[in-house]
Amino acid sequence: MQYRFVDGQVANRFLNELSHWSSSTGNVQIKAKLAKGAYTVNVSYRFDGRGFDYTSSELDDLAAKYHGQEV
């Protein structure tokens, strides 16, 4: 998934917070990197396939904190 932000500085703040973030659903390993002119962040993780995937929703909420949105 990708999240777009208003500028590169905000995208970097989101990326930095992800490096210290943990999902409430447990030990989900998040991989994230800047992409597309440094204002978009690519995020990937492995869903275990059991139950509802709360991680995606939590990532959306975190991005919204920085006025970002999934694209």
* Structure confidence at residue 26 (pLDDT): 64
pLDDT at position 23 over 80? no
Place of tokens 């490096």: 19
Show Cβ contacts of residue 64 under 8 Å, excluding neighbours closer than 6 positions: none
* Structure confidence at residue 49 (pLDDT): 72
Render pLDDT for 32-69 as a digit per residue (tens, 0 to 9): 999 977 899 999 998 777 777 788 899 999 999 999 99
Provide, for the chain, the percentages of residues in helix, strand and coil under a 3-state DSSP scheme, each rounded to the nearest 5. Answer: 35, 25, 40
